[in-house]
Amino acid sequence: MKPTAGDAGSAASRAEYERRIHRVVAHIDAHLDAALDLETLAAVAHFSPFHFHRLFVAWTGETLADYVRRRRVEQAAVRLLAQPGLSVLQVALAVGFGSGEAFARAFRQRFGQPPSRWREASRDAAVPAMPDRKNGQVLRKAGQVPVDGLDDHGLPTTRFDEAPLMNVTLIELPPTPVAYFRYVGPYGPPVGRFWQEQMAPWMGTNQLFGKPRYGVSLDDPDITDHARCRYDACVELALDAVVSGSPLRAVLPGGRYASTPFKGTVDTINEAWRALLRGWLPGSGLQLDSRPFLEHYPVDASYDAASGTFECRLCIPVTPL
């Protein structure tokens, strides 16, 4: 049966709702330290404040207040690990809590312990010792990173080769327009199926094979409930390019990233992310900023269908510590 004009109109309407809700959650993530009241967010979505909250709950499964509180606590947890130089209070204020007491209550409710204790336990459990490349054996204490010099951004100019089997370089990426579809759920094999079952047919229909691709991980699966983790499968594409399927559009933020090559399967990529974040980053002299993590798939990145082995570059946004 051929799709009718009504079917096409319904699909376009749903795509427009999706675009507006995505605009709101992106605004929330980018402005966690600001007032995020219903009227402001309804204006971001271009919905009536009277109906916006009901629409938000229907689309996300969470009330607006619960969603904002969850994202603030989760982003705080990321910063507690990634920005060791910040005090717990500084982290609390940076993600929009009005006081350390309010933050501690919300954090304990989510993670079952105070933020300072959680930070120490997570760091001790997750961060392996980093090998010193001198003689290949001596262990280096966290924070002792060789620096040949600083660039215009105040970042080290050296090539890092800190973690086992992990060659990390600092790169500059330009802002990149993309078309994307969002997957929500556990990372790992389900993301691979999303690329194969939804993205690959869409790319084939629109003759997009040969374009660079990006996977954008918006949540840390060690912190966010796996069922709520978000991942955007993106293809580099001009914002005004006409394609079928009503993809969402965005511009991936440019800037400085720490990048390492990955070759493996969807079963092992999460461990590579952990090694980069928990193993390399704490001793790098750098910290994360608010831009998302990127998997960059160049046009010549290999993929073996028989084994599921693929190549990409893992990129994390960095700024001086």
Tokens of 178: 């993309």
Question: For residue 291, is pLDDT > 70?
Answer: yes
For the chain, give every domain's residue range: 5-61, 67-126, 170-320
CA distance linking residue 208 with residue 113, whole number of Å: 48
Residue 311 CA: distances (Å) to CA of 204, 209, 213, 214, 217: 20, 16, 12, 12, 16
Comparing 38 with 143, which gets the higher pLDDT?
38
Look-up: residue for tokens 């691979």?
A: 192
Q: What residues does 317 pair with on adjacent strands? A: 257
Question: For residue 156, is pLDDT > 60?
Answer: no
Q: Average of pLDDT values for 75-81?
A: 91
CA 99 centroid distance within chain: 27
Question: For residue 4, is pLDDT > 80?
Answer: no
Q: Tell me, what amino acid is at 103?
A: F
Beta strands in 76-162 (DSSP E): 130-131, 139-140
- Compute and round to an integer the Cα radius of gyration of the chain: 21
CATH superfamily of 170-320: Regulatory factor, effector binding domain (3.20.80.10)
- For the chain, the average pLDDT equals 83
Residues 71 and 65: beta-carbon distance below 8 Å: no
Comparing 9 with 124, which gets the higher pLDDT?
124
Res 161: pLDDT: 40
Res 159: pLDDT: 40
Burial 63-81 (b: 16+ CB within 10 A, else e): ebeebbbbbbbbbbbbbbb
Question: For residue 8, is pLDDT > 60?
Answer: no
CA distance linking residue 320 with residue 153, whole number of Å: 8
What kind and span of H or E run contains 286? strand 286-288
Res 122: pLDDT: 81
pLDDT in tens, 58-76: 888 899 999 999 999 999 9
The 3-state DSSP class for residue 251 equals strand
Q: What residues does 294 pair with on adjacent strands? A: 216, 315
Res 147: pLDDT: 38
pLDDT in tens, 219-260: 888 889 999 999 999 999 999 999 999 999 999 999 999 999
CATH of the domain spanning 67-126, picked from 1.10.10.60, 3.30.450.20, 3.90.700.10, 3.90.79.10: 1.10.10.60
Look-up: residue for tokens 């007491």?
A: 101
Res 197: pLDDT: 95
Neighbouring residues of 289: CB distance < 8 A, sequence distance ≥ 6: 317, 318, 319
